[in-house]
Amino acid sequence: MKHWIGLWLLLGFSLAQQNIPVTFTYDPPMALEVRSVSLRGSFNDWAELPMQKTEEGVWQVTVALPPGVVQYKYFINGQWPQNMCEDETFGTPQVDAEAEGCTDDGQGGQNAIREIGRLAEAPPAEAGLALEHDPNTPQFVSQAAGRLSVRFQVPQGRIRSAVLQAEQAYPMALQLTTPEGEVWRAALPLTVRTYRIRVVDKEGQEQTFGPFEVPAKVLRAVDWVAGRVGYQIFPDRFWNGDPSNDHRALETSQARFDRTWQGRRPYLSRWSDPPGEYHCCQQYYGGDLAGVLQRLPHLRGLGVNLVYFNPLFDAGSAHGYDTHDYVRVSPKFGDNALLKRVLAELKRQGIRAIFDFVPNHTGLGHWAFQDVVKNGPKSRYWNWYFIRQWPFTPGDGRAYVGWADLGSLPKLNTANPEVQDYLIRVSRFWLNFGFDGIRVDVANEISTEFVQKWRAALKALKPEVYLVGEVWDVRPQYVQGDQFDSLMNYSVGRGGSPPAFGGVLGFARGGPLQNGRRALGELARVYALYPEAVAAMGFNLIGSHDTPRVLTDLGGGGLGDRPSLEALARLRLAMAVLYALPGASVIFQGDECGFTGERGQWPVNELYRYPLQWARCDRSTLAHFQLLGRLRGQLAALKSPVFRTHLGEGPLLAFLRGEPGVGELLAAFNNSLETASLPLPEGRWRDVVEGRVYQGKLSLAGLGWRYLERVP
By the 8 A CB rule, do 100 and 126 touch?
no
Indicate the helix (H) or strand (E) that contains 247.
Answer: none
Cis, bond preceding 498 (omega within 30 deg of 0):
no
C-beta of residue 69 within 8 angstroms of C-beta of residue 40: no
- Write the single-letter amino acid at 693: V
Report the chain's C-alpha Rg in angstroms.
26
Residues that are catalytic:
441, 470
Cα 72 off chain centre by: 20
- What gap in Å lies between CA 99 and CA 392, rounded to an integer? 47
3-state SS of 451-516 is HHHHHHHHHHHCCCCEEEECCCCCCHHHCCCCCCCEEEEHHHHCCCCCCCCCHHHHHHHCCCCCCH
Burial 518-538 (b: 16+ CB within 10 A, else e): bbbbbbbbbbbbbbbbbbbbb
Say whether 540 sits in a helix, a strand or coil. strand
Compute the residue count for the chain.
712
Cα–Cα distances in angstroms (integers) from residue 109 to residues 32, 97, 335, 488, in the given order: 21, 17, 43, 25
Q: Please state, in angstroms and rounded to a whole number, the distance separating the CA atoms of residues 324 and 702.
A: 51
Q: What are phi and psi of 11, to 5 degrees?
A: -80, 0
Report the alpha-carbon distance of residue 669 to residue 677 in Å, rounded. Answer: 11
Q: Crossing angle, helix 565-578 and helix 619-634, to 10 degrees? A: 10
d(CA 411, CA 348): 38
Report angle CA 662, 505, 44 to the nearest 5 degrees.
110
Q: How many contiguous H segments (helices) and E segments (strands) does the chain have? A: 14, 37
Q: Would you say 502 and 518 are in contact if contact means Cβ atoms under 8 Å apart? A: yes
Angle at which helices 336-348 and 417-433 pack, to 10 degrees? 60
How far from 52 is each of 77, 512, 623, CA to CA, in Å? 13, 33, 55
Peptide bond connecting 179 to the previous residue in cis, omega within 30 degrees of 0: no
Which residues fall within 8 angstroms of residue 670, CB to CB, at 6 or more apart? Answer: 573, 651, 652, 653, 676, 678, 700, 701, 702, 703, 704, 705
| Nearest of 629, 628, 597 to residue 612 by alpha carbon | 597
Helices 448-461 and 417-433 meet at what angle, rounded to 10? 30
| ω into 391 cis (within 30 of 0) | yes
Give start and end residues of each alpha helix (H) in 349-447.
Answer: 367-375, 417-433
Q: How far apart are CA 291 and CA 334, in angstroms?
A: 10
SS3 readout for 356-368: EECCCECCCCCHH
Bridge partners, 644 (sequence order): 656
